[in-house]
Structure 1
Amino acid sequence: MINLIERLDMPSLAFIRSQEFADLKIPTVVMHDNGFLPDNVNSPAKFYCGFTDEIKPLYFDRLPLPKYWRFKASSLQADVYDLDHKRATIFYDKTDNSRLVKEVQWLNKNGQLSWIDHYNKSGWKFAKTFFNNGRAVVRKLFDKNGKCVIEHNLIADDFYLDYQGTKKHFASLAEFTIHYLKDRGYSLDHIFYNTLNESMNVTLNLNEKGTDTMFWHEPVSGALPGNMEYLMNTKSRTKHIVFQRYDEWMKAQSMIPEDTGNVDFQYLGMVYPHSRSNQLRPNALIFTNSDQIEALDKIVTAMPNIRFNIAAVTEMSDKLMAFDQYDNVKLYPVVKKDKAAELLKECDLYFDINYNNEILSAVRSAFEQNMLIIGFRDTLHEPQFVADKYIFDASEIDKIKRLIDHVLESKINMKEALDYQRRMASDTTISEFKEKIEALENE
């Protein structure tokens, strides 16, 4: 049995972590390696290119540059200049706030994208994508010695592998992945996969006996996806389709026919750790990457009984520092990780009302700390953790105030609010998760 993940997005990572919380030992393979996979997650690139889990990250200001070239950095990215001529843009790994290099997009003299250097968490330039007239045409992946081991023709979408003196061609990513899975000797009797694209293609073309389960974490709109209907109407290894989002599972009830053909439909949420209970303290928290915080002045003045703690990993602008005049506002510029963790433990309300990028995985962290999360429709960073009842228009400050007064009034009120928040976020218990996975595994 294995988990086969096409790309390691946040829902996929939550699924893997849920298995870890339930003490389920299922190997995980990611088809597209971005260089920052967790140590216990495997990929064809890791295996054939010889990636190690040694952590020697490359910070943006350590990127080798020609003499006299310079960096111009912000919290979002860094630019490389030759005098006043921009030569490259450096993009950071978004899972870390210490400006680790993930990719460098190099420009030609006309300012057009020429190639991208891809770096992994060990600071190793493991891949390079070449462009022609603005179009990505080839991606090459290298071993530590700089030898091209995997070449992906992005136009034809085929692959070449040059490994241990043997050269092979694969017509598709699915074909290449199947070769890797067999090369590694994985048990392929049951595959958990979570896209109706490349990972599904692997299971359809595996030509091995087994039973597979498709885990669905994306939205549905109007009708079930065509490939889901294909699985219903075609005999294949896939026997189960498991929805992982509670709201989408409820929405899908009217779309799933009585006769589901070759598959059955089920629901199973995710396991999230909750390290503490909510203590009903009138302490609110906002993590921000800018001074663009929607209706902050109105919220602060409307709720003088709430202490608003506002933290940023960078210096704060004069606009934001001006809020220091309010008795119920405490500002934390250039906040350190230890202090950020302390604030998460000391606050029982979180406001997801800032624009620009999220920092410190703030919304998920607040959810795991059992904080009640309030957000505006236009500022949500991780909507799956903000229940629909607690999402407001920026003009509805009075409604927010009434909600907060209500939940802080009693433990019962807060518990009802948090129970709803967790249910809508597809939160489930370890025992429920483990029981469902083991039942699928044993079929």
Structure 2
Amino acid sequence: MIFITDELGKFEKNIIELAENVGFKECKTIEAIDLFCGISEKNDVLKEKDLYYAFIETPQYWSIRADGINGAIYDNKTKMANIYFKNPIEKRMVSRVEWIDRNNTVYRIDYYNKYGYKYCSENVRGGNVISREFYDRNGDIKVIEQTGPKTYTLLGTGISPRSYRGFADYLEAYLKYNEIYDENIWLTSDDILNKFAGDYGNFKISYLPQNRLNSDLTETNQTNTAFRILCSEEQQVNWYKENSDCKCDRLYLYFENNESKFGKMEAFIITETDQLEYVEQLINDFPEITFHIAASTIMSDKLTKLDINNNVELYPCITEQKRKELFERCDVYLDINHYRELYNAVNQALINNMLILAFDNTVHSKELYPMENIFDSSNYVKMKETLKNIITNRMIFNEYIDRQKKQLKQLAAKVVIGDTDESI
């Protein structure tokens, strides 16, 4: 498994941890900066330090100014370029510089990496990128990409230029040179994905769109058995299936978590409606449990009236930070909301070692549930008795948690190694 990304961020690190946790140990990570610029080719550690805008190299006597949230480069009174800062913008670290002509038309864009180097320049004509030049740490051109014919020319000191027809050919040569032999490629980068242009060579591509729906990607209209889209939420998978011809699978996150939550007596529910199956009965029958009910929107009167109970806490328009806190804090997740699942809640509850129970008419992500966790909607008494036994008996609680973890790990492993089928 080879993980290619723009930069190794939190999302990418979570996926790599997932692969390691399900037993996939041979996982190689390649950042785009290494793929095109050879930044790490000398095997030394570069210090991450963004470029401060005042240190951009310009011709003598030109001036650089900060202008509100952006910056600019001037030759006397003529603006030559616009400077765009990385977040947080108040630090004024350079993200890119867009060079403009007398008609205020962008003809070249320079990009700066986390090491403070200009690593890429795009040549623009008529609003379209016609070529890209990638630089090494010394400012020398390393790779030239022609976007029209999709060719890559590799340059280097002491060698003749070598051209590759298509990104797949270039990538194959790069991996061979670095003695990396693996056909399974995982991507989170739209830019890297689009470089393939539907030609994957001998590679098998898994693309993770990072919790968003994007209908602009040309790749999603390609039918190819070597390409699949992995989404962490069920509604994402369904959207891609309806809007593309690609193979789409569910991505299940799994992390080793041995924290025992037995005895906390706190239940979590997330909903976008006021239709919660048997919620009033549960609140009344389990006064020892605190029920945390969260909504993605403002709550209706039907839910706000539940606040009269001493064991109920309501969270309308819940924030991401509060969701995270409650997943970590609570020991029970009740999947009893009608309509769609929010925030990949069932998977999040599982990786936080929460006991999960549902009714057959409310259950989401059903493949994640052991059979014992789902109850007939006409049999509330059975659900009540089971919940009572679990929260009062540590052994039973642990047995349920272990079954949940085992089922999740099996599903996650299938996705990671590409062994998916229609049942997932």
Rounded to whole Å, the distance in 1 between the matches of 2:106 and 2:198 is 32
Question: How many residues end up aligned between the 2 structures?
Answer: 299
User: In the superposition, relative to structure 1, how do residues 48 and 254 fare at CA in structure 2: closer, same or farther (>3 Å)?
Assistant: closer
User: In the superposition, relative to structure 1, how do residues 23 and 67 fare at CA in structure 2: closer, same or farther (>3 Å)?
Assistant: same
Is the 1:78–1:91 contact (alpha carbons within 8 Å) kept by the matching residues of 2?
yes
Residues 381-416 of structure 1 deviation map (CA, whole Å, 9 limit, x = unaligned) = xxxxxxxx5247xxxxxx589978967976654489
Does 178-187 or 193-202 show the bigger shift? Answer: 193-202
Of residues 15, 19, 25, the one that matches 2:16 is 19
Rounded to whole Å, the distance in 2 between the matches of 1:406 and 1:15 is 40
Higher Rg of the two aligned structures: 2
Is the 2:99–2:107 contact (alpha carbons within 8 Å) kept by the matching residues of 1?
yes
Of residues 235, 247, 261, the one that matches 1:247 is 235
Rounded to whole Å, the distance in 2 between the matches of 1:168 and 1:126 is 20
After TM superposition, give the deviation of residue 90 of structure 1 in Å.
Answer: 0.8
Rounded to whole Å, the distance in 1 between the matches of 2:244 and 2:198 is 23
Letter of the structure 2 residue corresponding to residue 171 of structure 1:
R
Rounded to whole Å, the distance in 2 between the matches of 1:14 and 1:252 is 20
Alignment-derived partner of residue 120 in structure 1: 113
Alignment-derived partner of residue 344 in structure 2: 426
Is the 2:54–2:64 contact (alpha carbons within 8 Å) kept by the matching residues of 1?
no
Is the 2:64–2:71 contact (alpha carbons within 8 Å) kept by the matching residues of 1?
no
Is the 1:268–1:433 contact (alpha carbons within 8 Å) kept by the matching residues of 2?
no
User: In the superposition, relative to structure 1, how do residues 442 and 117 fare at CA in structure 2: closer, same or farther (>3 Å)?
Assistant: closer
After TM superposition, give the deviation of residue 424 of structure 1 in Å.
Answer: 1.9
Rounded to whole Å, the distance in 2 between the matches of 1:161 and 1:98 is 35
| SS of aligned partner of 1:43 | helix
After TM superposition, give the deviation of residue 110 of structure 1 in Å.
Answer: 3.9
Residues 245-302 of structure 1 deviation map (CA, whole Å, 9 limit, x = unaligned) = 2322355688999xx9xx6x5422457999xx9xx9xxxxxxxxxxxxxxxxxxxxxx
TM-score between the two structures when normalised by the length of structure 1? 0.52
2:417 aligned with 1:441, yes or no? yes
Of residues 159, 182, 185, the one that matches 1:188 is 182
Rounded to whole Å, the distance in 2 between the matches of 1:200 and 1:411 is 56
2:91 aligned with 1:91, yes or no? no
Rounded to whole Å, the distance in 1 between the matches of 2:308 and 2:154 is 60
Alignment-derived partner of residue 153 in structure 1: 146
After TM superposition, give the deviation of residue 168 of structure 1 in Å.
Answer: 0.8
Letter of the structure 2 residue corresponding to residue 45 of structure 1:
C
Letter of the structure 1 residue corresponding to residue 201 of structure 2:
N
Rounded to whole Å, the distance in 1 between the matches of 2:232 and 2:140 is 41
Alignment-derived partner of residue 288 in structure 1: none
Of residues 107, 128, 135, the one that matches 1:142 is 135
Rounded to whole Å, the distance in 2 between the matches of 1:405 and 1:437 is 40
Letter of the structure 2 residue corresponding to residue 426 of structure 1:
N
* Unaligned ranges ≥5, structure 2: 267-291, 324-332, 352-404, 420-424
User: In the superposition, relative to structure 1, how do residues 441 and 71 fare at CA in structure 2: closer, same or farther (>3 Å)?
Assistant: same
Rounded to whole Å, the distance in 1 between the matches of 2:302 and 2:181 is 55
Rounded to whole Å, the distance in 2 between the matches of 1:226 and 1:117 is 29
Is the 2:123–2:132 contact (alpha carbons within 8 Å) kept by the matching residues of 1?
yes
Alignment-derived partner of residue 28 in structure 1: 29
Is the 2:293–2:313 contact (alpha carbons within 8 Å) kept by the matching residues of 1?
no
Is the 2:164–2:170 contact (alpha carbons within 8 Å) kept by the matching residues of 1?
yes
TM-score between the two structures when normalised by the length of structure 2? 0.54
Is the 1:48–1:163 contact (alpha carbons within 8 Å) kept by the matching residues of 2?
no
User: In the superposition, relative to structure 1, how do residues 390 and 120 fare at CA in structure 2: closer, same or farther (>3 Å)?
Assistant: same
Alignment-derived partner of residue 2 in structure 1: 2
Alignment-derived partner of residue 365 in structure 1: none
Is the 1:159–1:172 contact (alpha carbons within 8 Å) kept by the matching residues of 2?
yes
After TM superposition, give the deviation of residue 18 of structure 1 in Å.
Answer: 3.6
* Unaligned ranges ≥5, structure 1: 36-41, 281-370, 374-388, 393-398
Is the 1:49–1:149 contact (alpha carbons within 8 Å) kept by the matching residues of 2?
no
After TM superposition, give the deviation of residue 151 of structure 1 in Å.
Answer: 0.9
Rounded to whole Å, the distance in 2 between the matches of 1:406 and 1:79 is 56
2:90 aligned with 1:101, yes or no? no
2:48 aligned with 1:55, yes or no? yes
Residues 168-205 of structure 1 deviation map (CA, whole Å, 9 limit, x = unaligned) = 11122222122212222223153334677545846x41
After TM superposition, give the deviation of residue 150 of structure 1 in Å.
Answer: 0.6
Is the 1:72–1:81 contact (alpha carbons within 8 Å) kept by the matching residues of 2?
no
Alignment-derived partner of residue 390 in structure 1: 296
After TM superposition, give the deviation of residue 425 of structure 1 in Å.
Answer: 2.0
Is the 1:55–1:121 contact (alpha carbons within 8 Å) kept by the matching residues of 2?
yes
Is the 2:96–2:110 contact (alpha carbons within 8 Å) kept by the matching residues of 1?
yes
Is the 2:221–2:244 contact (alpha carbons within 8 Å) kept by the matching residues of 1?
no
